[in-house]
Each structure stands twice: as C-alpha cells, then as structure tokens.
Amino acid sequence: MPLVPELSPGKRHQSPLPFGSSDALLLAQWARQGLAHQRLTVVVAAQAADAQRIAEELVFFDPQLAVAQFPDWETLPYDSFSPHQDLVSERLATLWRLLGRGGRVPADEQDRIDVLVLPASTALARLAPPAFLAKTTFRFKQGAK
C-alpha cells in the first residue's frame, strides 16, 4: 500500500499540515510514485522562500529525483527595473527543460525534470506559448558545431 494515496485528475486530496521538513519527505514520496507512471510532479508553494526550501529538501530526501525550480520574478508588476538576468536565464532554462520533457525539443539526460517547484504567484503569471519558446531558442554546448 502506498504511503500517499493515488491522485486522479479533477479530484482533490487534503492532508493535515506536516511538521517541519516532513512536507518535503511526503512530496518526495509522491514524486517517486508519479515517476513510476512517467508523470511530472508539480509543487506549488505559498511563497518563494517555501519553494526554495522544498526544492532543496526534495533533493536531500531523494537524490535521484531531478528537481527544477521555476523562480519568481522578484519584482512588483509596476517596478521601473527589470528582473535580475540570472532569474531570466534560470526561468528560460527551466522552460527549455520542460519542452524537452514534452518531446518538443531534443532533450539530454541532464535536462530531465521529475519535480517542478514554483511559488503560487509565479504559477499565476502567463507565459509565452511553448511553440514560441521552441522556435525562438537554441542550445549549444562546448564542442558543438
């Protein structure tokens, strides 16, 4: 019997709030179950700091999981300055890895994503269509021509 109940689309599951880091342990077990069915596990955290903590703890509890974090912009909607370029790069890299998971672009083993962690505010923001990202980006590696 699995430790976490099987989830089905459209159904809601609610559990009591786990203590300390046990939420990450529970999510790691959930992700491991989803991996058996070739499913991506998406974790939506309340705050950006929670997303960071959960991503780090997931790797601690299950080092075999490929965990990706989709960071928040860390700017307010009407700020007069742009987000940091490292955040932009990390977001684009994560989206590229997700495209590879969906078979839209060629993927390497290092591009694998089993768990995607993001803050709720980031989950609410609109993104460009996947076809646009696949069409307007490229990747090159050392030694590639």
pLDDT of residue 106: 58
pLDDT of residue 20: 84
Residue 2 has pLDDT above 70, yes or no: no
Encoded amino acid at 34, one letter: G
89-143 pLDDT, tens digit per residue, is: 889 889 988 888 766 665 666 678 999 999 999 999 888 888 888 888 777 778 8
39-95 pLDDT, tens digit per residue, is: 899 999 999 999 999 999 999 999 999 999 999 888 777 778 888 888 888 898 899
For residue 46, give every residue at least 6 positions away whose Cβ sits within 8 Å of its Cβ, in sequence order, or none: 119, 120
Residue 102 burial (10 A CB sphere; 0-12, 13-18, 19+): exposed
